[in-house]
Amino acid sequence: MSAPYDSYNTSSFYPPHLGGNDLNTNLLRGLACFIVLLMAVIGSAASPVIPSTSDREIATDSTEIHFHLSQSSLDLGLDGNGERLDNLIHQLQKVSGQDSTFVISTLRIIGSASPEGSEAIDRQLSEQRAHVLFDYFARHITLPDSITDFEYLGRNWKGLYNLVTSDSDVPSRNEVLALLHPAVTATALSTTESNTLLNRLKTMKDGVPYAYMYRQLFPALRYSYLYVEYEKSIHREIDPPSPEPTVIEIEETLVCDTVTAETAASPIEIGPVTKKPFYMDLRTNMLFDIAAVPNIGAEFYLGKNFSVLANWMYGWWDSNSRHRYWRIYGGELGARWWFGHKAAEKPLTGHHIGVYCGVLTFDFEWGGTGYMGGQPGGTLWDRCLVNSGIEYGYSLPISKHLNIDFSIGLGYLGGNYIKYFPFDNDYYRKKEYKMRFFGPTKAEISLVWLLGRGNTNIRKGGDR
């Protein structure tokens, strides 16, 4: 860079003798010096000294919300969704209020679905879940369109691979990981490739690994994930430049709490919160229903393939004028152990063995000899018969929420009963007997209604 103008010797522009060639030479020299000086001034103007520098502080936050099976509507009460959203919104509003230079610079929203059903439906679910989260967030924070980025995962194969990797209880885990690995390494799967992978996963090892993942891992894949990056600029004055003619440009960037794009796009690392499944059912024995004896039962799964159940029946039909009595009532308690590959797929399904015990009383008459269990009058406990035994059965899934349970029991039925007959609008006791019966004491074809969290059957073709 040229020196300032006043450092030149001005006498060279106006020599003491102005004659001939010397004059031309001096004029050329002066013109050259003037051009150099003019370029120096222009160059200085084109390269101004930067009086300050700007630091960028970048901070990040994220949250993840979950959805019900096959749903894209936001349930704030599910798995703490509402609390997590409120915490993030409160944090952003709090920081925004402290410094007006604070702005949201990046907003990334990811929608995901578990790999079930058709590719098109899973894709649609992931899109809807992402937009539901965005719409909720936009009601509380101003969001310019230019900073928002959506990603729709559809069937989240990579997320499933990560979950299987971290769960050592997955049946045939190494084989499952080997099957899923191409979906993780591939940039994207075609619809045909994705459907082929899903069918192979469902049929692997008679469907046992898929059934386990359906219950334990798939709920964590039904989510939408929000990553937000916000920043504020800090203007800081710097020392003026030194007298040296060279201009020094200072550029400094300070980054705090940096999250890489890869981390932001990997919501599976967040560690989703899932609730423990709960399995129970209500049932009615259709054999009793056919016999006009209303009945109801309930069964609760305790874990480790064990369940307990209770049944109650009450039919009290009579027509005294015609000597017609069809009356029976009583109850039963039992415990079961479930086994077989169907039981491994889902509790309260497949083969079971168990024990049971109960009490009952009855009064049957159809215009002739009648039979009454226990003693006439009193309560059930005064005149009951007692039964107990062992049972075997099989619970067959017939729809998403229904099973039919076939059971038969062998054991003991004992107590007192009497024979009586009607005469002149009265009843006369014939004889009292003691019952000591060993043999079939239980028969059941029950319609079972599955209740609880995660207590649904896996239908052919998959279900979300």
DSSP, residue by residue, 19-59 = -HHHHHHHHHHHHHHHHHHHHHHHHHHHSPPP-EEEEEEEE
Answer whether residue 433 shows pLDDT above 90. Answer: no
DSSP, residue by residue, 342-387 = HHHHSTT-EEEEEEEEEEEEEEEEESS-EEEES-SSS-TTTS-EEE
Edge-to-edge strand order for the sheet containing 148-155?
52-66, 223-237, 103-113, 148-155
- pLDDT category at 5 given cuts 50, 70, 90 is very low
Residue type, 360: L
Using alpha carbons, list the distances in angstroms from residue 328 to 61, 292, 316, 388, 426: 65, 10, 6, 18, 21
Is pLDDT larger for residue 21 or for residue 185? 185
**Ranges 1-10, 338-347, 448-457: which has the least confidence:** 1-10
User: Residues 145-160: what's their mean pLDDT?
Assistant: 85
The closest alpha carbon to 163, from 185, 184, 194, belongs to 184
324, 363 Cβ separation under 8 angstroms: no
Answer whether residue 328 shows pLDDT above 80. Answer: yes
What is the residue-averaged pLDDT of the chain? 77
Name the pTM for this structure: 0.45
User: Residues 213-237: what's their mean pLDDT?
Assistant: 80
Residue type, 9: N
Residue 425's SS3 state is coil
> For 22-64, what is each residue's pLDDT tens digit?
444 544 555 555 565 556 545 544 444 444 444 567 778 888 9
Separation of alpha carbons 344 and 458, rounded Å: 13
Answer whether residue 348 shows pLDDT above 80. Answer: yes
> For 245-260, what is each residue's pLDDT tens digit?
555 454 444 333 444 4
> For 256-290, what is each residue's pLDDT tens digit?
344 443 433 444 444 444 456 789 999 999 999 99
313, 300 Cβ separation under 8 angstroms: no
Q: How high is the pLDDT of residue 265?
A: 40
Answer whether residue 213 shows pLDDT above 80. Answer: yes
Q: How high is the pLDDT of residue 357?
A: 95
Answer whether residue 443 shows pLDDT above 90. Answer: yes
Q: How high is the pLDDT of residue 229?
A: 80
Answer whether residue 294 shows pLDDT above 90. Answer: yes
Element (H, E) at 173: helix 173-185
**pLDDT above 90 as % of the chain:** 28
Using alpha carbons, list the distances in angstroms from residue 306 to 74, 102, 129: 35, 57, 37
Q: How high is the pLDDT of residue 3?
A: 42
Is pLDDT larger for residue 409 or for residue 236? 409
Q: How high is the pLDDT of residue 143?
A: 67
> For 381-425, what is each residue's pLDDT tens digit?
667 889 999 999 999 999 989 999 999 999 999 888 888 877 776
> For 115-147, what is each residue's pLDDT tens digit?
987 888 888 888 899 988 888 877 777 666 677
> For 53-103, what is each residue's pLDDT tens digit?
445 677 788 889 999 988 888 888 898 888 888 888 887 777 665 555 667
Residue tagged 């059930």 (tokens):
380
**Ranges 66-75, 295-304, 332-341, 439-448: which has the least confidence:** 66-75
Out of 120-129, 311-320, 349-358, the most confident range is 349-358
Q: How high is the pLDDT of residue 286?
A: 95
Separation of alpha carbons 8 and 35, rounded Å: 13
